[in-house]
Amino acid sequence: MKKIIVILGPTASGKTDLSLFLAKKFQGYIISADSRQVYTGMNIGTAKTSEKERKLVPHYLIDMVRPDEDYTVSHFKKDSKSIIDTKQGLPFLVGGTGLYIDALVKNLNFPNIPPDKKLRHTLEQRIKKDGLKTLYKELITLDPDSKNIVDPKNPRRVIRALEVCKKSDKPFSFYYKPGEPFLEPLYLMPKISRFNLYKQINTRVDKMIEEGLIDETKELLKRYPKNLPALSSLGYKQLFPYLDGEIELDHAIKDIKKETRRYAKRQLTWFKRYKNVHQIKNKEEAVSLIETFLK
């Protein structure tokens, strides 16, 4: 099996800096395991690496589709596997989308069920009317095991899981089963206290505002409707009420920070299920682990 370095962890935990250093040192390349960085035009809010950084180390699966186009975990698995099969060098899978990481490393199988736009629209309207919790409860009723794999706070994931349940003769969780592995992973996670993580999240959000997140959001809304699943991403959705004149900017920024901290907490809960994850205190420790792993 081909070896792969998986750098995972919650948002703002230091994955990017660590991955750039390690991928450069080991002459590897980076595959983004971030379900939002696949969209063009969403740069500041998704904390994409800069063009300068991407020139130092090859990056893949960033800017794959427009925000109004579909890009599913199935697409990610197919594309990332193709990259690993064809590219030379050590692959580094980097990101905080646990389902994407599992899809590739655990070789998960996914239903070959195309999106049903009419059904999705109906489910989106139900969320507006009754709230996401109601839809999630319906999903758990249809498929109790999905509570372990579907984020109840992620409308896109809940809608997709319900879509699969309704369009196939099997529950969504049926497809979440590992296949024959074709990769040997080394899991690395930057070690950071909850206090420092939340502090870094707050600092990052302030930096995003300074770098032009508001203007980026305005540009996106000129081209796309705000109800797109892609635009439900953290940082963008919380600015909509401000841009509509409903709340002050300070309120919107506080909401971004609060929701990002909640998201980081859910990421940590997801990653607790992983075995043999090395908590990395510094870059030297990571280098030593990789050298041993490659031998």
**Residues in contact with 283: Cβ distance below 8 Å, sequence separation at least 6, in sequence order:** 18, 21, 22
Q: Report pLDDT for 216.
A: 98
Q: Report pLDDT for 149.
A: 84
In a domain, 93, yes or no: yes
Please say if the pLDDT value at position 199 is more than 90.
Answer: yes
- Cβ–Cβ < 8 Å for 18, 188: yes
Question: Which is higher by pLDDT, 2 or 229?
Answer: 2
pLDDT digits (tens, 9 = 90+) for 234-255: 999 999 999 999 999 999 999 9
CATH of the domain at 164: 1.10.20.140
- Residue 231 CA to residue 237 CA, distance in Å, equals 6
Using a pLDDT cut of 90, give the percent of the chain over it.
84
- Residue 267 CA to residue 288 CA, distance in Å, equals 26
Domain count, the chain: 3
Determine the average pLDDT of the residues in 32-50: 97
Q: Are residues 161 and 149 in the same domain?
A: yes
User: In this structure, what is the dihedral angle of CA atoms 148, 149, 154, 155, given to the nearest 10 degrees?
Assistant: -100
- Give the residue carrying structure tokens 């992620």: 154
Q: Are residues 100 and 171 in the same domain?
A: no
- Residue 149 CA to residue 157 CA, distance in Å, equals 9
For the entire predicted model, the pTM comes to 0.90
Please say if the pLDDT value at position 113 is more than 90.
Answer: no
pLDDT digits (tens, 9 = 90+) for 50-59: 999 999 999 9
Q: Report pLDDT for 191.
A: 97
pLDDT band at 295 (very low <50, low <70, confident <90, very high): very high
- Cβ–Cβ < 8 Å for 91, 28: yes
Q: Are residues 22 and 74 in the same domain?
A: yes
In which domain, by residue range, is 132 found? 117-175
Determine the average pLDDT of the residues in 164-193: 91
DSSP H helical ranges for the chain: 15-25, 51-56, 73-86, 98-105, 117-130, 132-142, 155-167, 194-211, 213-223, 240-243, 249-271, 283-294
Determine the average pLDDT of the residues in 3-15: 97
pLDDT band at 170 (very low <50, low <70, confident <90, very high): confident
Residues paired with 189 in a beta bridge: 279
Q: Are residues 153 and 206 in the same domain?
A: no
Choose among 245, 243, 4: nearest CA to 105: 4
- Give the residue carrying structure tokens 């409903």: 246
Determine the average pLDDT of the residues in 73-101: 96
pLDDT band at 177 (very low <50, low <70, confident <90, very high): confident
In a domain, 242, yes or no: yes
Determine the average pLDDT of the residues in 33-42: 97
Q: Are residues 130 and 157 in the same domain?
A: yes
Determine the average pLDDT of the residues in 97-122: 90
Q: Is 3 left (phi over 0), alpha (psi -120 to 50) or beta?
A: beta
Please say if the pLDDT value at position 111 is more than 80.
Answer: no
CATH of the domain at 78: 3.40.50.300
Q: Are residues 100 and 132 in the same domain?
A: no
Please say if the pLDDT value at position 112 is more than 80.
Answer: no
- Residue 125 CA to residue 119 CA, distance in Å, equals 10
Q: How far is CA 178 from CA 102, 107, 108, 280, in A?
A: 9, 5, 5, 27
In a domain, 289, yes or no: yes
Element (H, E) at 187: strand 183-190
Q: How far is CA 74 from CA 59, 84, 183, in A?
A: 19, 16, 17
Using a pLDDT cut of 70, give the percent of the chain over it.
100
Mean pLDDT of the chain: 94
Q: Are residues 165 and 209 in the same domain?
A: no
Element (H, E) at 290: helix 283-294
